[in-house]
Amino acid sequence: RGRGKARNEGLLSKQKRSRRMKANDRERNRMHHLNSALEALRSVLPTFPDDAKLTKIETLRFAHNYIWALTQSLRLA
């Protein structure tokens, strides 16, 4: 009987490792997609100087403010 328990624990350990590896892969892919999207957003935002790379939060804040400013310009026009 003891052997069956050890086998089950070994199998559970492999399953846990497999699930953790799959979760890590999903998270890695999610972050790659997020970083790609942020890079695409950075490429359309006007920045000065041109080679300045904004952080993630700076990119989002700048995009929000830029869209707001463009909206205000359209309302006034």
Strand, helix or coil for residue 4: helix
- CA-closest candidate to residue 62, choices 34, 76, 43: 43
Q: Tell me the DSSP string of 31-67.
A: HHHHHHHHHHHHHHS--SSTTPPPPHHHHHHHHHHHH
Q: What is the pLDDT of residues 27-73, one digit of tens each?
A: 999 999 999 999 999 999 998 777 788 999 999 999 999 999 999 99
Q: Which fold has domain 3-76?
A: MYOD Basic-Helix-Loop-Helix Domain, subunit B (4.10.280)
Kindly state the tokens that stand for 29.
Answer: 């892919």
Mean pLDDT of 14-24: 94
- What does pTM read for this prediction? 0.74
Q: How far, in Å, CA of 7 to CA of 9, rounded? A: 5
Domain ranges of the chain: 3-76
